[in-house]
Copies of this chain bind each other. A is one copy, B any other.
């Protein structure tokens, strides 16, 4: 059966897929410099072809520039204020618990996948980190879709993941999560699913272990992008329409001596105002080797009973800390498109080379001994936006007017001149 072209609507956007396989890739942590470094060395000939014959530009991600926030935006097509996931991690004031958002129960908007499946598309979603699988799989398996992670490829079952025997299909064993293979594996799997006609609507979402650990020009990074490019070539050869973006960029966050450049917010606040402050670092996730929970975005919960005047004082104090670039009170929700009920009292954003922490004791810096590269702030907000085919006139105009990374399905499905 050729790919179905029935129109479907999700979260106010209408999608009319072409009669060809559609593949959208989120290359986790892919600052544009990673593509540049690989392209300059001739390591991404297929991406180069896409850039010249299709489109290559930049799009703005959602803030904070974290994985769960942006992957949730990409798969729903809406900003965090609508889908509800404003961090990997938040403090639930109702329950008094700090919670991870790696579950579909936090999602307040549908992903586009069940609707695409209902419209007759054979949907498959493959992610590197298993933490995202639950969000992506929401409502999809019961519609006949496929969703698994390369991290737990060997645990995929037909009734829960839509597919058995992933290792056999791919012809490769489940890769370790702290590896480049965790990312390339899902491209291999995607190609196989396409070859076996098991999908014609595919979302691939990699992990940023390599980007946290290696600079764009280091061999490990070049190797990863070269491997991805090879699989891109296979996808294109099989007639796929391909769109590529990232969840966030990546910058070194260290001093010239190589030590991490951290502002410990809980320490600073306690020293100045006394105890009772709770600082939440929404980069926090189970993959601590990546970043030691240090990113460029933090949320502050004030001690209960803090007066409005004191709050203004705290805002001004934080704003004066060197390395802090933006501070928001309650207007954070509006200015940053975040869910107001899952934010704290104050949002703090730091500069290109600066991360925010709680206290020195809280962070295990062993994990980042080789140097700290991280994200979360404005300087990781702009990401690649690349398509296999030229943009239609209307989409070309939109690409000039602040396109977002979570427009990537709209652009790939509706926006390309085939």
- Chain A residues near B (Cβ < 8 Å): 32-33, 36-37, 39-41, 48, 51-52, 56-58, 60, 215, 252, 254-258, 261, 319-320, 325-326, 331, 334-335, 351-353, 371, 378-379, 382, 394, 397-398, 400-402
Q: How far, in whole Å, are A410 and B401 apart by their CA atoms in the complex? A: 37
Question: Which of A256, A261, A335, A402 has the most chain B CB atoms inside 10 A of its CB?
Answer: A402
Q: Are B41 and A39 in contact (CB under 8 A)?
A: no
Q: How far, in whole Å, are A80 and B217 apart by their CA atoms in the complex? A: 32
Q: Are A36 and B52 in contact (CB under 8 A)?
A: no
Q: How far, in whole Å, are A256 and B58 apart by their CA atoms in the complex? A: 16
Smallest Cβ-Cβ distance to A261: which chain B residue? B401
Out of B36, B41, B401, name the residue touching A255 (CB < 8 Å): B401
Main DSSP-derived SS at the A contact region: mixed
Enumerate chain B residues within 8 angstroms of A394, measured Cβ to Cβ.
256
Enumerate chain B residues within 8 angstroms of A371, measured Cβ to Cβ.
400
Out of B37, B48, B335, B352, name the residue touching A40 (CB < 8 Å): B48
Nearest Cβ distance between residue A61 and chain B, in whole angstroms? Answer: 12
Q: How far, in whole Å, are A75 and B277 apart by their CA atoms in the complex? A: 45
Nearest Cβ distance between residue A347 and chain B, in whole angstroms? Answer: 14
Number of this chain's copies in the assembly equals 2
Smallest Cβ-Cβ distance to A352: which chain B residue? B402
Enumerate chain B residues within 8 angstroms of A41, measured Cβ to Cβ.
52
Question: Which of A36, A41, A334, A378 has the most chain B CB atoms inside 10 A of its CB?
Answer: A36
Enumerate chain B residues within 8 angstroms of A326, measured Cβ to Cβ.
326
Enumerate chain B residues within 8 angstroms of A335, measured Cβ to Cβ.
319, 325
Given A32-B32, A36-B51, are A402 and B353 neighbors across the interface (CB < 8 Å)? yes
Q: How far, in whole Å, are A13 and B60 apart by their CA atoms in the complex? A: 37
Q: Are A57 and B40 in contact (CB under 8 A)?
A: no
Given A40-B51, A58-B33, are A397 and B331 neighbors across the interface (CB < 8 Å)? no
Enumerate chain B residues within 8 angstroms of A379, measured Cβ to Cβ.
382
Question: 29 A-B residue contacts at CB 8 Å?
Answer: A32-B32, A33-B57, A33-B58, A36-B36, A36-B51, A37-B51, A39-B39, A40-B48, A40-B56, A60-B352, A252-B400, A252-B401, A254-B400, A254-B401, A255-B401, A256-B394, A256-B398, A256-B401, A257-B397, A258-B397, A319-B335, A320-B331, A320-B334, A325-B335, A352-B402, A353-B400, A353-B401, A371-B400, A378-B378
